């Protein structure tokens, strides 16, 4: 199993962080983007190259099983043990141990010295863990090996109540690598999404928020009415006729069973059901039928949000609201994975979540003190499309919004955008590419960058800046390295001057076109993607020494 380029970049970013910093790194890769191969690669390197020991921590049994499967695929014979009460295994003598935190948190002494602790789904580490399981285990493990380091991986680097999970005093301290949902969709590594809102509108104005989330009993009471359930089930049945696998998130057990019953009795749809009380064998059997396609509909409550991998899911129905951007992301993210014959994933949002949080690739995090504020989306009065709040012109009908836009919109639209881009931008042809060493005028102490200019028309240029002179391991330097490897087989330059010299010597692939975007509210265009030609064959060129030009004795060289 070979890593994708961004996964390899993530691994290298982790190693760079561990070399150059004393704190603990976090890697951010979207759901479905492949965190487990990154974990497996780090484990393989740690054991095979550096003779170290690794502990992989996860929260649910499914994640443990996934980690073991990927390790066996990427590094057969590596030596992987499992310590999990749920799986009935207690193996501590192997170079790599995959464990549930609930099972191992008091077993650091029995485990012995480990060099790396890797935490999957790191956003589930409780904030201010205090004397909790993670703090206790890591403190004990540090006593056994004071040089032990911690690596976290997650798709959502924030918690619903306390914001970003990296902090100077936290277990994880710095995001060393991040790749976005939009980037992976654009490159074909994740499924495209489209969405619709429910036609029946549930009054949520009186719902209270407690500890960062809507009160569960109030949500279930509001959504578990005959009118809402029957309307929602009718829409699900109509919208999913051509869909293969529909995953439903209910507001509670009573509500979910009501949905299952109405789908069966009114629409002849067999819908499976899973909740926290479902017996293990029944749960595994139901999930296996769903994954295989024998069961087309599966409803759940608070279960299938983390560690559930079913690439065939091509419709996600949100029959509940959430105040948590992380939970919203995790639910929608069940449809990110690719599968043969899967064109996209439809998100049916009956809880107003897209309006509340914004597009899933551009989540709007709120500080607790902000309370209610304008939704990050607004409705177009011309066609009822829902668009980002800063949009000046509707991409669907061309309606020009007044400036500033302060209207209150009637929340009756039936289509929403779960991704921030509404129409794919056009490719601009590139007629010439030029490379320069660029110094920032406003900051003479800033390191130089390579300015790349793409001529897209008569006197028309688009520019980007590539940062080879930034510190090794920094985000800017890693992006520069990734930029170079996509275009050249030559070694990554150590400096901007070397990069310009190699570029002018023909070391880079030709650029035939670029896609340029500008997000709402931004002043400048950004180059989003490039249409590159083949990477040229490259050999080390002869570097001619530079000599100063001759100056006459009686002349002044300026």
Task: Residue 56: count other Cβ atoms within 10 Å of its Cβ.
Answer: 27
Indicate the range of 77-86, 120-129, 359-368, 549-558 predicted with least confidence. Answer: 549-558
| Per-residue pLDDT at 26 exceeds 90 | yes
| Per-residue pLDDT at 335 exceeds 90 | yes
Q: What is the sign of the dihedral through the CA atoms of 313, 315, 321 and 323?
A: positive
Task: Residue 40: count other Cβ atoms within 10 Å of its Cβ.
Answer: 30
Tokens of 429: 């042809």
Tokens of 211: 């500890």
Mean pLDDT for the chain?
A: 82
| Per-residue pLDDT at 409 exceeds 50 | no
How far, in Å, CA of 387 to CA of 323, rounded?
20
Helices (H), 121-279: 133-144, 181-186, 216-223, 226-239, 253-267
Tokens of 439: 């110094």
Q: How do residues 463-489 score in pLDDT, each as one tens digit?
A: 899 999 988 878 788 889 989 999 999
Look up the CATH superfamily of 5-179.
P-loop containing nucleotide triphosphate hydrolases (3.40.50.300)
Judged by DSSP in three states, 509 sits in coil
Q: Is 525 exposed, middle or buried (0-12, 13-18, 19+ CB in 10 A)?
A: middle
| pLDDT recorded at residue 368 | 39
Q: Name which of 306, 329, 331, 304 is nearest 318 in CA terms.
A: 331
| pLDDT recorded at residue 127 | 64
| pLDDT recorded at residue 315 | 96
Q: How do residues 133-164 score in pLDDT, each as one tens digit?
A: 888 898 899 999 999 999 999 988 876 556 67
- Distances in Å between the alpha carbon of 4 and those of 16, 18, 187, 392? 18, 22, 11, 37
Task: Residue 379: count other Cβ atoms within 10 Å of its Cβ.
Answer: 21
Q: Name which of 330, 341, 350 is nearest 245 in CA terms.
A: 341
- What is the share, in percent, of the chain residues with pLDDT greater than 70? 82
| Per-residue pLDDT at 21 exceeds 60 | yes
Tokens of 552: 């006459």
| Per-residue pLDDT at 203 exceeds 60 | yes
- Span 527-538, mean pLDDT? 87
Task: Residue 50: count other Cβ atoms within 10 Å of its Cβ.
Answer: 9
190-416 has the same fold as 5-179: yes
- When pLDDT is cut at 50, 70 and 90, the band that residue 105 belongs to is confident
Q: How do residues 69-96 score in pLDDT, each as one tens digit?
A: 778 877 777 888 888 877 788 888 889 9
For residue 164, which phi and psi values (nearest 5 degrees)? -65, 145
Relative to beta strand 25-28, strand 80-84 is unpaired
Pair 329, 155: CB distance under 8 Å: yes
Indicate the range of 9-18, 63-72, 135-144, 195-204 predicted with least confidence. Answer: 63-72
- When pLDDT is cut at 50, 70 and 90, the band that residue 361 belongs to is confident
| pLDDT recorded at residue 544 | 53
Pair 243, 211: CB distance under 8 Å: no
Judged by DSSP in three states, 90 sits in strand
Pair 392, 373: CB distance under 8 Å: no
For residue 433, which phi and psi values (nearest 5 degrees)? -125, 130
Which is more confidently placed, 323 or 377? 323
How far, in Å, CA of 194 to CA of 63, rounded?
27
Q: What is the sign of the dihedral through the CA atoms of 62, 63, 66 and 72?
A: negative
Domain ranges of the chain: 5-179, 190-416, 427-532
Tokens of 267: 């629409």
CATH no. for 190-416: 3.40.50.300
Q: How do residues 271-281 score in pLDDT, each as one tens digit?
A: 999 998 999 89
Q: Name which of 313, 340, 160 is nearest 248 in CA terms.
A: 313
pTM over 0.85: no
| pLDDT recorded at residue 12 | 94
What is the chain's Cα-based Rg? 26
Task: Residue 464: count other Cβ atoms within 10 Å of its Cβ.
Answer: 16
């Amino acid at each position: 199993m070979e890593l994708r380029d961004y996964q390899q970049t993530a691994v290298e970013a982790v190693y760079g962080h561990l070399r150059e910093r004393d704190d603990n790194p976090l890697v951010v890769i979207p759901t479905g983007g492949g965190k487990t191969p990154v974990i497996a690669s780090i484990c393989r390197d740690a054991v095979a190259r550096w003779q170290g020991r690794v502990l992989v921590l996860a929260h649910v049994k499914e994640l443990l099983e996934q980690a073991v499967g990927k390790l066996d695929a990427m590094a057969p014979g590596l030596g992987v043990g499992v310590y999990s009460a749920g799986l009935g295994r207690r193996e501590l003598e192997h170079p790599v141990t995959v464990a549930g935190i609930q099972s191992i948190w008091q077993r650091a002494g029995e485990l012995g010295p480990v060099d790396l602790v890797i935490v999957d789904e790191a956003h589930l580490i409780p904030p201010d863990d205090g004397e909790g399981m993670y703090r206790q285990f890591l403190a004990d493990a540090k006593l056994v090996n004071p040089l032990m380091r911690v690596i976290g991986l997650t798709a959502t680097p924030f918690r619903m109540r306390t914001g970003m999970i990296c902090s100077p005093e936290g277990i994880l301290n710095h995001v060393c690598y991040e790749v976005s949902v939009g980037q992976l969709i654009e490159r074909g590594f994740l499924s495209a999404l489209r969405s619709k809102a429910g036609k029946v509108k549930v009054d949520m104005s009186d719902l209270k928020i407690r500890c960062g989330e809507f009160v569960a009993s109030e949500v279930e009471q509001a959504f578990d009415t005959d009118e809402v359930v029957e309307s929602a089930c009718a829409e699900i049945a109509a919208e999913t006729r051509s869909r293969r696998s529909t995953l439903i998130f209910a507001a509670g057990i009573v509500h979910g069973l009501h949905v299952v019953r109405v789908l069966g009795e009114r629409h002849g749809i067999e819908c499976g059901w899973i909740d926290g009380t479902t017996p293990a064998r029944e749960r595994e059997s139901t999930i296996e039928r769903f994954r295989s396609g024998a069961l087309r509909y599966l409803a759940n409550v608070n279960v299938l949000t983390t560690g559930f991998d079913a690439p065939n899911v091509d419709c996600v129905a949100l029959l509940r609201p959430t105040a948590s951007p992380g939970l919203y992301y995790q639910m929608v993210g069940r449809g990110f994975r690719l599968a043969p014959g899967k064109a996209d994933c439809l998100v049916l949002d009956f809880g107003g979540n897209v309006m509340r949080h914004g597009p899933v690739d551009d989540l709007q995090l709120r500080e607790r003190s902000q309370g209610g504020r304008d939704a990050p989306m607004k409705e177009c009065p011309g066609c009822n499309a829902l668009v980002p709040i800063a949009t000046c012109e509707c991409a669907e009908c061309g309606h020009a919004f007044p400036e500033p836009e302060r209207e209150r919109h009637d929340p009756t639209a039936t289509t929403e955008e779960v991704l921030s881009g509404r129409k794919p931008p056009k490719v601009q042809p590139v007629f010439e590419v030029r490379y320069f060493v660029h110094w920032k005028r406003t900051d003479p102490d800033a390191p130089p960058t390579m300015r790349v200019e793409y001529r897209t028309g008569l006197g028309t240029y688009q520019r980007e800046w590539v940062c080879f002179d930034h510190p090794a391991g920094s985000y800017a330097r890693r992006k520069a390295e990734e930029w170079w490897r996509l275009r050249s087989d030559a070694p990554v330059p150590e400096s901007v001057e070397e990069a310009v010299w190699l570029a002018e010597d023909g070391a880079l692939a030709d650029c035939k076109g670029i896609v340029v975007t500008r997000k709402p509210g931004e002043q400048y265009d950004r180059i989003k993607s490039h249409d590159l030609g083949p990477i040229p064959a490259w050999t080390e060129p002869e570097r001619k020494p530079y000599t100063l030009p001759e100056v006459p004795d009686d002349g002044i060289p300026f």
